[in-house]
Amino acid sequence: MFTRPATAVILAFTAALGVSIAAPSAAADGFADAATLAALHGTFESTAPEPWYGGFGTREFVFADGQWSLIFTHALDPDMTMRTFQFRTGGGYRVTGPSAAVPGAFEATFDEDWKHLTLLTAEPEVIAGLGMAGCGLTVNLEADISATGCAAWAPVAVCGQDHDLLAMDEAGLYFGQRPMDNDMCTPDRRPTALLMPVTAR
């Protein structure tokens, strides 16, 4: 049973689809080049729960042979004990030109060939606040939402790519700060700032 008022979750999720924590301004010196980023191999993960979607979340990225995948887990508390959902996606990725907005970062396109979502709470108000009440989800059972989408995630046929930023330095691997509506489906929606880094496992 969650102790945090569900209405707070609803308001926070509606107002904060994008995480508000941003990385320090990147400088080109000390950042990896495009070839290094295009050949990433390994697992990169959050060092601690981060502010996400009106609560907290952890990110785990795996890179190998030009492919990437993400496991994102969300919870209402910083200890990640009151979990709400887990989202997984992945596909190929490509690193293109340098970012005009963030020195040291590169523009990158991440294919989302599949999208899977697991509901981790049975609280009706929380589920409704997350926009997942109409998605036909079963608690603790992963659902393939590739064809249908759910909440802030559009179907693959509508949005099968994230147009993002990518950078790496000795602190870790950086991605772009997501917009409030979670829409990075087209190049004009590419972020103009970086998130805090994830670090190699």
pLDDT in tens, 99-129: 999 999 999 999 999 999 999 999 999 999 9
Q: Is 191 exposed, middle or buried (0-12, 13-18, 19+ CB in 10 A)?
A: buried
pLDDT in tens, 185-195: 999 999 999 99
Report the pLDDT value the prediction gives residue 186, as an integer from 0 to 100: 96
For the residues 60-64, what does the mean pLDDT come to? 98
pLDDT greater than 50 at residue 131: yes
Domains identified in the chain, total number: 1
Three-class secondary structure assignment of the chain = CCCCCHHHHHHHHHHCCCCCCCCCCCCCCCCCCHHHHHCCCEEEECCCCEEECCEEEEEEEEEECCEEEEEEEEECCCCCCCEEEEEEEEEEEEEEEECCCCCCCEEEEEECCEEEEEECCCCHHHHHHCCCCCCCCEECECEECCCCCECCECCCCCCCEEEEEEEEECCEEEEECCCCCCCCCCHHHCCCCECCCEEEC
Number of Cβ within a 10 Å radius of residue 173: 22
Report the pLDDT value the prediction gives residue 28, as an integer from 0 to 100: 58
Q: Give Dmax over CA atoms of the chain in angstroms.
A: 49
Looking at the domain assignment, is residue 152 inside a domain?
A: yes
The pTM of the full predicted model, rounded to 2 decimals, is 0.87
Residue 138 has phi, psi (to 5 degrees) of -115, 130
Looking at the domain assignment, is residue 1 inside a domain?
A: no
**Which domain, by its residues, includes 177?**
6-200
Looking at the domain assignment, is residue 11 inside a domain?
A: yes
pLDDT in tens, 9-44: 444 444 444 443 444 444 456 899 999 999 999 999
